[in-house]
Amino acid sequence: MTRLLGLVVLLAGFASAQNRVYELRTYTCNEGKLEALKARFRDHTIEIFKRHGIESVGYWIPQDPVLSKTTLIYIVVHPSLEAAKKNWAAFRDDPEWKKVAAESEKDGKILAKPPEAVYMDPADFSKLK
């Protein structure tokens, strides 16, 4: 019985991992605001993400000389697309996030436009599943 239960738990975990969805997000900042955005992520946002089931994979600044002044790109992962929608709704409604966002923009808006988001499934040969 114990082995059967263990197998069921293992298969359930495998099935839920198979449904994971990755999200590529690109933020374009107003001129001179990239450091404020990076500080907001480093000091607050990533921890708030964790509370809402948004798992960080990595964060990047483009090497392109122009884009490197205004662009932050990152990937997060969610258990499913449905979970992603719920995670983001909970994140946006989080009182701490609202406070952090307002405080970080006291000297002007950070983002030049809304973030771009692409939901992705790993290819069958991807190491990330």
DSSP codes joined into one string, 26-43? EEEBPTT-HHHHHHHIII
Q: What percent of the chain has pLDDT over 70?
A: 85
Q: How far is CA 21 from CA 3, 83, 120, 122, in A?
A: 30, 9, 6, 8
Can you point out the beta strands (E) in 1-129? 21-28, 55-60, 71-78, 116-120
Domain annotation covers residue 93: yes
CATH number of the domain where residue 33 is located: 3.30.70.100
* Domain assignment present for 91: yes
> Is residue 127 in a domain?
no
The reply to whether 51 falls in a domain is yes
Range of the domain at 86: 16-120
Structure tokens at 51: 């509370």
- Would 10 be classed as within a structural domain? no
Give the number of domains in the chain.
1
pLDDT at 8: 36
Instruction: Specify the pTM.
Output: 0.83
